[in-house]
Amino acid sequence: MGAASETFSARRLMFVCLVLAGLLNLVSAVAPRWEVMIAARALEGLALGGVPGTAMAYLAGEAPPERMGFAMGLNVSGAAFGGMMGRVAMGVLAQAASWRWAIGALSLVDLVAAVAFVLLLPRARNPSTEQASLARHVRAWRGALADPGLASLYLAAFLAMGAFVAVYNYLGFRLATAPYNLSPARIGLIFLAYLVGMAASSWAGASADRYGRRSILLMGAALALAGEALTLARPLPAIIAGVAILTGGFFVGRLAGAGRSHAASLYLLAYYGGASLLGSAGGWVWRSGGWPGLIGACAAAMLGVAALGARLAPDRPAAT
């Protein structure tokens, strides 16, 4: 999708992807069998792949250079808001009606948002004029992977997203059992911690323009580690505080990888690869080692992020 954004209108590509994602989400809500739902969700993931990377490329071409970090920060804040509302609303609606009604309602919101998006987003003033060819795309991807700094950012994204998603994936299982015994709606409210991520994204985006990506990445890793450690506490308020700190740290560090086109698409590939692979692998750790084991594995991943961040040149820009 990152390559396609250089050939087709970014505005049109994102609109089509948003509509397809909303429709496929609706299919998953009425799916008669588990296999159908999984297939619909997989196709939805492919459709959504055309949004974040294309949005980064659009902003990189349209936003003034001195405001780039802030613009990227607002973009990430929007993603955080959507992630928060989807999870909180799903928890409340699933408890009040059913998961099918919850997903169906979310699909309608997605479709309305897609229409609003295409009406509000200005047409690109600086569209790409490069001719697309497979050979050129392959050269660009190879060049980005051969860059040690960019390669470090990709691996950091893989580890950070995997650790973040694993905590959120399995925290609900922990809180649903004794001594907490929380309902789905109350567990969903934990995702209000994304508000911290929204604020942190905007701040980090503006700060990255001033202090550089390396400092932001290291700061995010340190905050995430502190948050993970705090979730080991038994009191529920301490767990919630830990999740909020982890969320803020993750969204701060995420800004280190904001960039354009091929480099941005590789960053997002690593980012969502970490969510898929490490997020799923966390289930094995949770089953065998419980919450302490899961947090230990996530902390190891975040230490890896910090080590990779320390290798970056202090003034090196991210994925541009």
| pLDDT range class, residue 318, cuts 50, 70, 90 | very low
DSSP tag of 190: G
Task: Report DSSP letters for 153-172, one per residue.
Answer: HHHHHHHHHHHHHHHHHHHH
The 10s digit of each residue's pLDDT in 240-296 is 999 999 988 887 666 555 445 667 778 888 888 999 999 999 999 999 999 999 999
Beta carbons of 158 and 273 less than 8 angstroms apart: yes
| pLDDT range class, residue 204, cuts 50, 70, 90 | low
316 pLDDT higher than 50: no
The 10s digit of each residue's pLDDT in 177-196 is 999 999 888 888 888 888 88
C-alpha distance across the termini of the chain, in Å? 17
Average pLDDT over residues 46-54: 83
In which residue are the tokens 């650790």 written?
Answer: 163
Query: What residues does each domain of the chain span?
Result: 4-122+134-311
63 pLDDT higher than 80: no
299 pLDDT higher than 90: yes
Homologous superfamily of domain range 4-122+134-311? MFS general substrate transporter like domains (1.20.1250.20)
320 pLDDT higher than 60: no
Task: Report DSSP letters for 55-108, one per residue.
Answer: HHHHHHHHS-GGGHHHHHHHHHHHHHHHHHHHHHHHHHHHHHS-HHHHHHHHHH
Cα gap 33→270, rounded to integer Å: 31
Q: Cβ-count burial of 120 within 10 angstroms (0-12 exposed, 13-18 middle, 19+ buried)?
A: exposed
Cα gap 72→92, rounded to integer Å: 30
Q: What is the mean pLDDT of the chain?
A: 83
Q: Percentage of the chain with pLDDT > 90?
A: 40
Sequence-distant (≥ 6) Cβ neighbours of residue 300 within 8 angstroms: none
Beta carbons of 220 and 249 less than 8 angstroms apart: yes
